[in-house]
Amino acid sequence: MDGNRFLDNLKDDFRRGALAQRDALSVEARADAAKVIAAAPLPVELPPGTIVAGYSPINSELDPFPLMRALADKGATLALPVIIARNHALIFREWQPDEGLVRGPYGIFQPSSDADEVDPDIVLVPLAAFDRAGHRIGYGRGYYDRTLENLRRIKKVTVIGVAFAVQEIETVPRLPHDEQLDCVLTERELIDLRRL
């Protein structure tokens, strides 16, 4: 077995374990965590016109919408990802909390094609597992890694993993194409990796 395949298999094991921890949280605990995170200060400035991309939560993911609404109240422009299946990548379209969403690939809700495409300054990233070095395990399709790599080529962007504290693992196996997080925000703490 080659090294990359070994790491992929290891990631699969960590992913299953972290998702089981996340799934075991009660609905109330998830809602409480989303409220705590929405009230927490972000480690970056939000000058007028800052574009913050969140995500539409699926399964037992932490719901970022309370945080996104709080950021919109502070003047941020919001966006959500749109899956471009043929490229295995994402684009971001502007979105307001009162606007409806349409069901996209994998059943994930996203803005309609009428919404303006934007390049965010801050990206809130869902994940299955994370470590304190800023590495994450997603769902294995690589959408965020490809998208963040492309976005970081064109502008400075702050990437914040949003998760429950129970999703932390000691060390995430890292492959060369894996994009690193700048921060991780959980209901317990903000892990700011930009100073490390």
Q: Which residue ranges are tagged as binding site?
A: 11-15, 61, 136-144
Gap between the Cα atoms of 17 and 62, Å rounded: 16
Question: Which residue ranges are tagged as binding site for substrate?
Answer: 61
HSE-up of residue 48 (Cα within 13 Å, Cβ side): 0
Q: Tell me, what DSSP letter sits at residue 85?
A: G
Question: Which residue ranges are tagged as binding site for ATP?
Answer: 11-15, 136-144
Give the pair of three-digit tokens for residue 131.
Answer: 């470590």
- Among 8, 52, 26, 5, which Cα is nearest to 157's? 52
HSE-up of residue 179 (Cα within 13 Å, Cβ side): 25
Gap between the Cα atoms of 183 and 162, Å rounded: 9
Q: What does 112-141 look like in DSSP terms, one character per residue?
A: -TTSPEE--SEEEE--SEE-TTS-EE-SSS
